[in-house]
Structure 1
Amino acid sequence: MSRIVVIFDFDRTIIDGDSDNWVVTQMGLTHLFDQLFSTMPWNSLMNRMMEELHLQQKTIEDIGECLKQIPLHPKIISAIKSAHSMGCDLRIVSDANQFFIKTILEQHQLFGFFTEIITNPTSVDDDGRLRIVPYHDFKLSPHGCTLCPSHMCKGMILERIQAFSRQNGKNITIYIGDGGGDYCPSLKLGENDHVMPRKKFPLWERIHRNPSLVKATVHEWSNGEELETTLLHLITCSAIDGNQCVYTSTGSDTTSKVHSRPASTIKVCQSL
């Protein structure tokens, strides 16, 4: 049994783009989204988009069919399957939402490979409307972390996962992400751990501003091929000799051309 926990972000990590932006664009909500973008937190904005779709008589099935069109890089799929087959405990910590993530993973037959998915809860009300709510109720139970947005502290989630994992003999964490919300958990990783920031994305930029703050070994990646190669290398050598893993990947620059989630509005969620 492997002693490794692999934690994935979802948007721009497991999928190349952003699931919220995909639905907004593909379902014709861009104009309204742009109008409201600066007026409310991202999570509330996406909940408002779901209300708009309901008003347009779009069903939960319509939203699901839209999400099923999101492509996954084949190397991401094989990386997840290979890491699972090597005995790793795979988890997702994401500020997307429950329905979007579950629908996409099921479309690509990946849902069952994850022990836990922590993301924004969703529900379908009696009228058939999809509702999205934040993981943390920042008014009633603020998390108190000054690094993180009010909706979510991924660092607190990481600490909970690691405490449970250590009780079960898993003492190496590999954290894979791209966004500013992934910075706090990166700071909480230890010397035996590894963080994989996507090159030229916010997490990578924040780490590179002051790399001495991160105790874990840093391994950058740019695309699906590099993610798979780096991750499987880390799993293999960690299984052999603990944290004695040295791996450098070089790839093409990657930039994001869609709306970035404001640091003040990143959210969290519950397990599926």
Structure 2
Amino acid sequence: MRRCCEGVGLPCLFKGVGMASPPPPKYLLVFDFDETIVNENSDDSVIRAAPGRELPERLRQSFRDGFYNEYMQRVLAYLGDQGVKMGDFKAVYENIPLSPGMPELFQFLSKNQETFEMILISDANMFGIECALRAAGVYSLFRKIFSNPSGFDKRGYLTLGPYHSHKCLECPANMCKRKILTEYLAERAQEDVEFERVFYVGDGANDFCPSATLTSSDIAFPRKGYPMHQMVQEMEKKQPGAFQATVVAWESATEVAQSLQEVLKKKC
């Protein structure tokens, strides 16, 4: 059960006096990565490191819906065969542009780190995400990053694995973001950290699954016109009220920052 404020001033005052540890953050802010934090799909971006900046037709035709992770394993193996090294990948990831308004949103969040706990759940890969976030100067804002494991083998090839297995029929075989979010909330609850509200910022179809579990006190921030937004709208048409969270669609992440600022103004 998520707790709101204590309701009276006295306990709040005691929290700030003579206590060794600060109060836990009030809100959990969950981010997607591709086409949310960054303005591209980073898996597509790495193709810029390929000879001629394109993949062979046979490789592109090997993609199967729901098995994108396996497809990217083949793409990365091909790039390794073509001599693409760590530095080449790093340069690509570091130069992927942030989405509109994202620098301003992160500037706001950096000033409110005690209030917002931030995690990232992405179906990209850990190496690429870390490169991009460090280049943007925002890596330290995230308490935890959940993504597909990746690293360089003895040949210097970037390798990729699945994040986990799951039973969700709506998500790719390698990752269900709802499972990750649910387990994270349970883990934090065991550590006596329960959030008043959860905010979810995403764009893709795989962001709809976790956002559909949010409650009426939470906010979903789908990128306007992208699959997550479209799926939310479709659910609302078919089952009015079934999607419980407040929906704030965004074109610029400054709109997310403005909504979060309004939340802070209303807090006790």
TM-score (norm 1): 0.79
1:194, 1:131 → 2: CA distance?
35
- Indicate the residue corresponding to 1:80 in structure 2: 106
- The counterpart of 1:127, out of the listed 147, 150, 155, is 155
- Indicate the residue corresponding to 1:11 in structure 2: 34
Tell me if the contact between 1:119 and 1:135 (Cα under 8 Å) persists in the aligned partners: yes
- Indicate the residue corresponding to 2:224 in structure 1: 199
Runs of 4+ with deviation above 6 angstroms: none
- Indicate the residue corresponding to 1:102 in structure 2: 130
Deviation at 1:213, TM superposition (A): 1.8
Deviation at 1:39, TM superposition (A): 8.7
- The counterpart of 1:179, out of the listed 170, 183, 204, is 204
1:90, 1:103 → 2: CA distance?
18
Deviation at 1:73, TM superposition (A): 4.1
- Indicate the residue corresponding to 1:213 in structure 2: 242
TM-score (norm 2): 0.80
2:208, 2:105 → 1: CA distance?
23
Deviation at 1:70, TM superposition (A): 1.2
2:267, 2:243 → 1: CA distance?
18
Q: Which runs of 5+ in 1 are unaligned?
A: 244-272
Provide the aligned length of Structure 1 versus Structure 2.
234
- Indicate the residue corresponding to 1:158 in structure 2: 181
1:48 matched to 2:74? The reply is yes
Q: Aligned residues: percent identity? A: 28
Q: SS at 1:163's partner residue?
A: helix
Taking a change above 3 Å as real, the CA distance of residues 164 and 232 of structure 1, as seen in their structure-2 partners, is farther
For 1:23-62, what aligned pairs fall within 5 Å after superposition? 23-27=46-50, 28-32=53-57, 33-38=59-64, 41-62=67-88
Tell me if the contact between 2:39 and 2:96 (Cα under 8 Å) persists in the aligned partners: no
- Indicate the residue corresponding to 1:64 in structure 2: 90
2:217, 2:127 → 1: CA distance?
34
2:75, 2:38 → 1: CA distance?
21
Tell me if the contact between 1:81 and 1:113 (Cα under 8 Å) persists in the aligned partners: no
Taking a change above 3 Å as real, the CA distance of residues 115 and 81 of structure 1, as seen in their structure-2 partners, is farther
Q: SS at 1:235's partner residue?
A: helix
1:191, 1:221 → 2: CA distance?
19
Calculate the aligned-residue CA RMSD, in Å: 2.1
Greater Rg by CA: 2
What is the one-letter code of the residue matched to 1:70? I
For 1:237-252, what aligned pairs fall within 5 Å after superposition? 237-241=262-266
Deviation at 1:171, TM superposition (A): 2.1
What is the one-letter code of the residue matched to 1:214? F
1:22 matched to 2:45? The reply is yes
What is the one-letter code of the residue matched to 1:129? Y
> Which deviates more from structure 2 when the two are superposed, residues 174-183 or residues 233-242?
233-242
